[in-house]
């Protein structure tokens, strides 16, 4: 299904931000990239670039939340694998040229850094009940959830930086083992 021009711009913003960061993503380039006229930008997004960035983050976050919620029903390991798979596909699809747009926003000090921080907290918060439901004590679940989000966000940067799946797969395997041990006994 072909996206309407508006969401095409939102998706394009997410992609470009993941590839070059928000500061290096200009609305002119984004317009050209998505085949939309520059003038349309401020028609669709009267809030300007900030609104565009924020919507791009929401767009990415919703995707991940959906993946997490769906796989979470299958238990902690399933949720973890889905989370890992999400980033693996993400990296492959961009040929290791993009990292997480949320992380890009969070790294640069923009007015949209607040929302970025909420996205991370949301992801971590979604993982906690999945872990406790599998028998992990709450306090440990909180920690493990931060570890999962942190290590995978970090691993995506490493993998992109090395232009190789190795760092991501290394992190994936180790985290998988850790969660397995935390869940089983």
Partner DNA sequence: GCTAGACTATGACGACTGTCATAGTCAAGG
Partner DNA sequence: CCTTGACTATGACAGTCGTCATAGTCTAGC
Site for DNA in 118-177 (CB under 7 A): none
Q: Which is nearer to DNA, 47 or 137 (CB)?
A: 47
Residues in the chain: 185
Q: How far is CA 102 from CA 5, 108, 113, in A?
A: 22, 10, 9
Helix, coil or strand: residue 143 = helix
| CA pair distance 124, 107, nearest whole angstrom | 18
Q: How far is the CB of 7 from a copy of itself (least distance, A)?
A: 24
* 96 phi-psi bin (left φ>0, alpha ψ -120 to 50, beta other): left
User: Among DNA, a copy of itself, none, what binds residue 162 when CB lies within 5 to 8 Å by partner kind?
Assistant: a copy of itself
Which DSSP state fits 177? H
Binding site for a copy of itself (CB under 8 A): 19-21, 23-24, 97, 99, 103-104, 106-110, 113, 116-117, 120-121, 124, 142-144, 146-147, 149-155, 157-158, 160-163, 166-167, 170-171, 173-175, 178
Name which position in 13, 14, 17, 36 contacts DNA (CB under 7 A): 36
Which range touches DNA (CB under 7 A), out of 33-41, 69-77, 83-91, 158-166?
33-41
Q: How far is the CB of 142 from a copy of itself (least distance, A)?
A: 7
Name which position in 8, 11, 27, 77 contacts DNA (CB under 7 A): 27
**Surface-to-core class of residue 143, CB atoms within 10 Å of its CB (0-12 exposed, 13-18 middle, 19+ buried):** middle
Would you count residue 25 as binding DNA (CB under 7 A)? yes
| CA pair distance 176, 81, nearest whole angstrom | 8
Would you count residue 38 as binding DNA (CB under 7 A)? yes
| CA pair distance 79, 33, nearest whole angstrom | 34
Would you count residue 63 as binding DNA (CB under 7 A)? no
Q: How far is the CB of 55 from DNA (least distance, A)?
A: 13
Which range touches DNA (CB under 7 A), out of 30-38, 124-132, 148-156, 164-172?
30-38
| CA pair distance 54, 137, nearest whole angstrom | 35
Summarize as ranges the residues that interact with DNA (CB under 7 A): 5, 25-29, 36-43, 46, 48-50
């Amino acid at each position: 299904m072909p996206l309407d021009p508006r969401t095409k711009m939102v998706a394009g913003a997410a992609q470009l931000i993941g590839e070059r960061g928000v500061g290096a993503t200009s609305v002119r380039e984004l317009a050209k990239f998505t085949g939309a006229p520059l003038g349309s930008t401020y028609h669709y997004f009267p809030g300007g670039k900030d609104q565009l960035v924020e919507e791009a983050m929401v767009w990415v976050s919703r995707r991940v939340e959906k993946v997490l919620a769906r796989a979470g029903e299958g238990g902690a390991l399933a949720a973890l694998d889905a989370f890992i798979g999400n980033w693996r596909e993400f990296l492959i699809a961009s040929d290791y040229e993009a990292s997480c747009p949320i992380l890009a926003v969070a790294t640069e000090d923009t007015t949209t850094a607040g929302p970025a921080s909420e996205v991370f907290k949301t992801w971590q918060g979604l993982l906690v009940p999945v872990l406790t439901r599998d028998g992990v004590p709450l306090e440990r679940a909180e920690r493990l959830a931060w570890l999962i989000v942190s290590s995978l966000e970090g691993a995506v940067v490493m993998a992109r930086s090395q232009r190789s799946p190795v760092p991501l797969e290394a992190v994936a395997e180790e985290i998988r083992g850790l969660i397995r041990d935390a869940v089983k006994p």
